[in-house]
Amino acid sequence: MRRYSQRNSLTTLSEINVTPLLDLAFVLLIIFMITTPLLENSMNLVIPSSGATNPPINSSQVQTVSIDRTETIRFNNQVVDWQTLTAHLAQLKQANPDVAIVIRP
């Protein structure tokens, strides 16, 4: 009869389980795939400082442009398309270069 030896049962594992590492790599890949398109749609805006004093603007010189979530463009609360908006803004600039455009979401 053979005696039970504990030497065989105490051997260490020489392999590394890579399943958790692959899970982590895939999660990081998904996070970067989701956040990258959000970074590409950003826009640089130059915002004037509040320390500078601006001359008062006449309310007749203020024009508003708003774009909602469905990408509907409104110029002074009238629905227009991109070409019409571009034409209106070009005409306003030629007629009065001091016109103020307010862009609202």
Within 8 A by CB and 6+ apart from 64, the residues are 74, 75, 76, 77, 101, 102, 103, 104
Give percent of the chain with pLDDT exceeding 70: 70
First to last CA, the chain: 86
Return the higher-pLDDT residue of 11 and 61: 61
In a domain, 84, yes or no: yes
Question: How large a percentage of the chain has pLDDT more than 90?
Answer: 30
- pLDDT score, position 4: 58
Q: What is the distance between the alpha carbons of residues 28 and 44, in angstroms, rounded to a whole number?
A: 28
| Any domain includes 74 | yes
Cβ-proximal residues to 88 (8 Å cutoff; 6+ apart), any chain: 75, 80
Confidence of residue 104 (pLDDT cuts 50, 70, 90): confident
**Domain contains 88:** yes
**Structural domain count of the chain:** 1
What is the pTM for the complete model shown? 0.45
Find the domain containing 95 and state its range: 59-104
* Residue 75: closest CA among 43, 45, 103, 99: 103
pLDDT digits (tens, 9 = 90+) for 46-78: 777 766 666 666 767 788 899 888 889 999 889
Q: Tell me, yes or no, whether 46 lies in a domain.
A: no
